[in-house]
Amino acid sequence: MKLIFLSVAIVAALTAAKPCDNTETDHNSLVLKLNKNLLQSSEESDSLPNPSIHIALRLSNQHNLAKESQHLNRLKTKLHDDIQTSLAGGQMVVGRLALYILALRSSCHDLNSLTLSDESLLTHLKRQMEKEKEHIAFSHRPLTNYYQYSLGILALCVSGVRVSSHVSHKLIHAVEHGQIKHGDSLSVDTYAMAGMALQCLKEAETPVKDNEELSKALATIKQKLVDSQRSDGHIGNEFSTGLAVQALLAMGSDVQECSTSMEAMRSDARKGSYHNPMAVSQTLPALQKHTYLHLKRMECRNEDDSLVLDSAPAVEVLASLSNVPVEVEVQKTDGSSSAYRLEVPSGSSLLEVLTLLQNNKMGFTFEKEDSLWGPFLSQVNGEQARQTDRRYWHLSSDGKALSQGMKDYKIEAAQKISIKNTGY
């Protein structure tokens, strides 16, 4: 009975909406713009091809099949080789390998035709998931994180591979015991991915240790996502809303076209908030009411092939009208801190600010690593914050955590940037 009341409350929360600001024409034009932007980003050659971009392009209603094929070939060479190198070095690659498998599935590619060290991709993913499961049993947390763990379960399930009940139970247990966090905060993205993974298991009727526990976990995830919805419609923040909406759709919630969450995503698209391709790749499917679970039913036949890129406009470089003062504070694990002050051109990215600070030889140094979301800090002033040590560099501006990466966050006004070595 409690589950019935919970479901009614969730539906009411999702369907409640202000009058719809958009017309069908406006909605379609926004989707088309995001689709073209994502397709354009797939042609960038200065970084590893992103499998999440490919998934979103394949889940879209409109396609440019030739360019999608080119991107798939880059995934099968550059990303494939990168994963191979990481595996040879003993690194965990659950998230990248899972997304790679989902990208191949989105193009109906025969997964058995590709191997890593003479073993199939799915065999490697199953082995990685076993390592994760064993580490959770020993230390109560994955070697990577529950987002990647959920992605691994989802990729196996979507590919028709039976997921061990011991593996799925670890995720169900984490949901039920409030272990889905990023630091001290609830992780909306992780709950969303966990919801799609567990929903896939339920729909596939994959044996789990306890079906009632599975249903309870899915109900818990739904409620967590609904409780995370802000008054402006965002679920978590503007960059987690797309994935959250995907999860709610996958779990059977009726997210209306004019719901506040859909309106929030359209508003962000109008403002140009989604300039990071990873953010677009999670938002575009949601705006079309598609989810990662749709990959199970992909047939790749009789597809639209009408998407054409516009000619790239000439880029006009304008000199910055003003400089703004910025303070950068670094806090290390031993409690010591260092502060630096400089002026930067208005509109500079945080990455550009840190690069300028380092080049000015003021005693500040940093190193970065690449991810699908863009570069992230790995070392600051000689101190590392590594995932293997359950640590990261937490970025905030005037005390407010940044929701964007350092390449995307722009400095428009005077502020204090804090960089703190943080555990999770």
Q: Contact 262/27 with Cβ under 8 angstroms? A: no
Please indicate, yes or no, whether residues 243 and 383 belong to a single structural domain of this protein.
no
Q: What mean pLDDT comes out for the span 83-94?
A: 94
Q: How much is the pLDDT for 372?
A: 81
Q: How much is the pLDDT for 51?
A: 98
The number of helices, as runs of H, and strands, as runs of E, in the chain is: 15, 14
Global pTM value = 0.88
Confidence label for 424 from pLDDT (cuts 50, 70 and 90): confident
Position 1 pLDDT exceeds 60: no
Confidence label for 6 from pLDDT (cuts 50, 70 and 90): very low
At 192, which helix (H) or strand (E)?
A: helix 188-203
CB-side neighbour CA atoms (13 Å) of 284? 30
Distances 124 to 87, 114, 158 between C-alpha atoms, Å: 9, 12, 16
Listed as own residue / partner, the contacts of 1-9 with beta carbons closer than 8 Å and 24 or more positions apart are 3/215, 3/216, 3/219, 6/219, 6/222, 6/223, 7/219, 7/222, 9/226
CATH of the domain at 358: 2.170.130.30
Confidence label for 314 from pLDDT (cuts 50, 70 and 90): low
Please indicate, yes or no, whether residues 45 and 96 belong to a single structural domain of this protein.
yes
Confidence label for 239 from pLDDT (cuts 50, 70 and 90): very high
Of 48-52, 146-150, 314-318, give the lowest mean pLDDT range: 314-318
pLDDT tens digits for range 183-198 = 667 899 999 999 999 9
CATH of the domain at 271: 1.50.10.20
Please indicate, yes or no, whether residues 268 and 334 belong to a single structural domain of this protein.
no
CA dist 257 and 241 (Å) reads: 14
Please indicate, yes or no, whether residues 145 and 66 belong to a single structural domain of this protein.
yes
* DSSP 8-state symbol, 97: H
Q: What mean pLDDT comes out for the span 332-342?
A: 91
Q: How much is the pLDDT for 4?
A: 42
Total tally of structural domains belonging to the chain: 2
Position 5 pLDDT exceeds 60: no
Please indicate, yes or no, whether residues 275 and 381 belong to a single structural domain of this protein.
no
Q: How much is the pLDDT for 374?
A: 82
Q: What mean pLDDT comes out for the span 266-275?
A: 91
Q: Which amino acid is at 245?
A: V
Whether 65 is in a domain gets the answer yes
Please indicate, yes or no, whether residues 328 and 286 belong to a single structural domain of this protein.
no
Q: What mean pLDDT comes out for the span 249-278?
A: 93
Q: Residue 173 is part of which domain span?
A: 14-297
pLDDT tens digits for range 122-181 = 999 999 999 999 999 999 999 999 999 999 999 999 999 999 999 999 999 999 999 998
Q: Contact 243/282 with Cβ under 8 angstroms? A: yes
Distances 344 to 137, 216, 411 between C-alpha atoms, Å: 48, 51, 8
Position 9 pLDDT exceeds 60: no
Whether 4 is in a domain gets the answer no
Please indicate, yes or no, whether residues 231 and 374 belong to a single structural domain of this protein.
no
Please indicate, yes or no, whether residues 241 and 104 belong to a single structural domain of this protein.
yes
- Backbone Cα Rg of the chain: 22
Closest CA to 71 of 83, 57, 59: 57
Mean pLDDT score across all residues of the chain: 90
Tell me the DSSP string of 60-82: SSS--HHHHHHHHHHIIIIIHHH
Whether 176 is in a domain gets the answer yes
